[in-house]
Amino acid sequence: MPPDLLDELQQRGLIHDATDREALAARLAEGPITLYYGCDPTADSLHIGNLIGLVVLKRFQDAGHRAIALAGGATGMIGDPSGRSSERNLLDDDTLSANLAAIKAQIGAVLGHEAEWQLVDNLAWTRDVPLLDFLRDVGKHFTVNQMVAKESVKARMQSDEGISYTEFSYMLLQANDYLVLHGREACQLQIGGSDQWGNITAGIELIRRRTGEHVHGLTWPLITRSDGRKFGKSEEGNVWLGAERTSPYRFYQYWMNVPDADVGHFLKLFTLLDLDAIAQLDAETAAAPERRIGQRALAFELTALVHGSEQAEAAREASAVLFGGDPSRLSPAALETLAGEVPTVRIPVGGQTVLDLVVEAGLVKSRGDGRRQLAQGAVYVNNARLAEDRPIGESDLLHGRWILLRRGQREYALAVAPVG
């Protein structure tokens, strides 16, 4: 018999705090609950730090509960001081609108068709609230003592940067969000990372004071990596959910490079694979770490979740060929993926030799260097060693368009023939 939802979340390491776990379990047993997860649209893409929230939201959704994703158009203008050492720049309306449109598609990729979940923007109920009304209806229910006791606020107050009244008010705005969603959508659960605990409990307290009703909060631990590197960062910086910022291939590679010590933990946190399947992957990874079985499963599952199964398969194929696989087995989609990741040059077909091709592709420094590299067997055309004067023809084209070139073990280029 599968574990109930809270037990499964616990087994996956996805519960850090809950306001009253027994009461929440009893409420979930009664029937579907409405819950929300919020993220601020401070960029035109979410990042993998947001992914865990979307995945937890989906777990509740798959268990029959009603999921709301809140995009903080209002709070995004202010910025949450949690986890920050300096003030965010305030965003204008046009930027926020563009960011909201971009992240809506990313949320939908995880949660499915919009009929299956709801997107709300707290700017809709915050923009026109008069200041005096807000102070009367929300502000009077909190003491400054409560607010400055929050760790993120204390840290900022003790820093040289300090904290503005604008960011100081973030807790009140988020508390009001929960109150509004409770009233309008019968929302009874807010989920978030452990750094949101103070904001979540503020909303719970506001609802209790204003309505006398009891609602719930649940957080997961902040994610760390065993090797000390910051989670969510690659050599290029943040790992984003938007393909324009982090390509599906690079997204796939981020998860492929997860250390063995983290792979089982991340499979539990991020994927929708069942726990028995994860235990099997863990065992196989431990038995043959060089095969990176767990990493391959993690990379494919998450790339498919965020970018779709076709992009995940293309990234898997491209990754395999760049690590010694057979290029003749690449699909057109995988070759398109490679074109975005390695130097690519457009070539005419006919009249060119292998030497001409590798020079034009920039894989060698000069014709003389090309001759030396080809003579030494260091240059490959579609994974084959060819003579420098061998003509390049249509039979060399993969799927009628592509030629994959390699120098040594890891230096690649792609030649692309014109269509038609």
Nearest to 383 by CA among 324, 316, 318, 315: 324
pLDDT(158) > 50 = yes
Determine the pLDDT at residue 40. Answer: 82
Q: What Rg, from alpha-carbon coordinates, does the chain have?
A: 26
Determine the pLDDT at residue 85. Answer: 45
- Residue 30 and residue 42: Cα distance in Å, rounded? 37
Determine the pLDDT at residue 81. Answer: 59
Reduced to 3 states, what is the DSSP secondary structure of residue 169? coil
Boundaries of every domain in the chain: 5-220, 233-325, 344-416
Determine the pLDDT at residue 419. Answer: 72
- The stretch 245-268 carries a mean pLDDT of 95
Q: What percent of the chain has pLDDT over 90?
A: 68
Determine the pLDDT at residue 326. Answer: 83
Neighbour tally for 382: CB within 10 Å: 17
Strand order across the 187-193 sheet: 17-18, 216-220, 187-193, 34-39, 66-71, 118-121
- Residue 178 and residue 175: Cα distance in Å, rounded? 5
- Looking at the whole model, is its pTM more than 0.95? no
For residue 329, name the pLDDT band (cuts at 50, 70, 90): confident
Q: What is the pLDDT of residues 47-98, one digit of tens each?
A: 999 999 999 999 999 999 999 999 888 877 666 555 554 455 567 778 888 8
DSSP class per residue in 125-178: HHTT--HHHHHHHTGGG--HHHHHTSHHHHHHHTSSS---HHHHTHHHHHHHHH
Superfamily of domain 344-416: RNA-binding S4 domain (3.10.290.10)
Residue written as token pair 């993220």: 39
CATH code of the domain made up of 5-220: 3.40.50.620
Neighbour tally for 173: CB within 10 Å: 22
Neighbour tally for 12: CB within 10 Å: 21
Nearest to 18 by CA among 188, 178, 218, 190: 218
- Residue 386 and residue 371: Cα distance in Å, rounded? 11
- Residue 389 and residue 115: Cα distance in Å, rounded? 60
pLDDT(38) > 50 = yes
Contact at 8 Å (CB) between 297 and 281? Answer: yes
Q: Which of 226-230, 277-281, 335-339, 404-408 has the highest mean pLDDT?
A: 277-281
Give, in order, the Cα–Cα distances in Å from 379 to each of 217, 224, 323, 334, 404. 59, 41, 15, 22, 11
Architecture of domain 233-325 in this structure: Orthogonal Bundle (1.10)
pLDDT(179) > 50 = yes
What does DSSP assign to residue 309? H
Q: What element of type H or E holds 249? A: helix 248-256
Residue scoring higher pLDDT (418 or 399)? 399
Reduced to 3 states, what is the DSSP secondary structure of residue 230? coil
Contact at 8 Å (CB) between 67 and 57? Answer: yes
Q: Report residue 164 as tokens.
A: 């503005």
Using CB atoms within 10 A of its CB, is residue 183 exposed (0-12), middle (13-18) or buried (19+)? middle
